[in-house]
Amino acid sequence: MAITTLDAGTALVLVDLQNAIVAAPTAPRGGQDVVVRAAELAENFREHGAPVVMVRVTAAADGSDAVPGRCDLPSPAGVLPEAWDEIVEDLSGHPGDIIVTKRNWGAFYGTDLDLQLRRRGVTQIVLAGIATSIGVESTARSAHERGYHVTLATDAMSDLDPEAHRNSIERIFPKLGECGTTAEIIELLAKTRS
């Protein structure tokens, strides 16, 4: 399905494009390719005066703020490198951007993201980031549940597992919103903001 429109109140939400996650091996595209497309989206959103949100995940070094609960495949333990949770340089340093710090998969639970968006009159979000099936999909589901129109920049995301990425793109995202490419979103943004 093609992207039909971008609301006047549309924000770009970039999920987990931070040092350690971008450096991880991902498919179908590498982290740096995702960053290039995300930076292009962010630049265009800023030029049109639309909000840009940078979401980052972090955790206490001792694991004291880890999400509780048992699971079959827990997150790997270990010491995280310094600055692992900082937004990559290509996307950081823009004073007008909104920074949201999360400690879960999705960007809404336990953060002020919903408040930040609603205060700015946002009714639609464009999502991109890493990992497609984890942070991006969790955020898309929560946005949909909160009544936002969701647009997914499918060429500006990637995953640690190519099958999980494909499942999100083909089976989940079409049920949550409209999917398109970075170029299609930028073209529509220019048309609706002229």
Q: How far apart, in whole angstroms, are the C-alpha atoms of residue 18 and residue 87?
A: 4
**pLDDT tens digit string along 143-194?**
999 999 999 999 999 999 999 999 999 999 999 999 999 999 999 999 988 7
Calpha distance 17→8 (Å, rounded):
25
Domain range for 132 is 10-59+83-193
Give domain status of residue 50, yes or no.
Answer: yes
Please determine, for residue 139, whether its predicted confidence score (pLDDT) is greater than 80: yes
Say whether pTM exceeds 0.75. yes
| Whether the Cβ atoms of residue 131 and residue 105 lie closer than 8 Å to each other | no
Residue 1: is its pLDDT beyond 60? no
**Contact between residue 133 and residue 146 where contact means Cβ atoms under 8 Å apart:** no
71 part of a folded domain: no
Residue 100 falls inside a structural domain = yes
Task: Return the CATH number at 181.
Answer: 3.40.50.850
Average pLDDT over residues 61-84: 68
With 90 as the cut, is the pLDDT of residue 62 above it? no
Please indicate, yes or no, if residue 4 is contained in any of the structural domains. Answer: no
The tally of domains found in the chain comes to 1
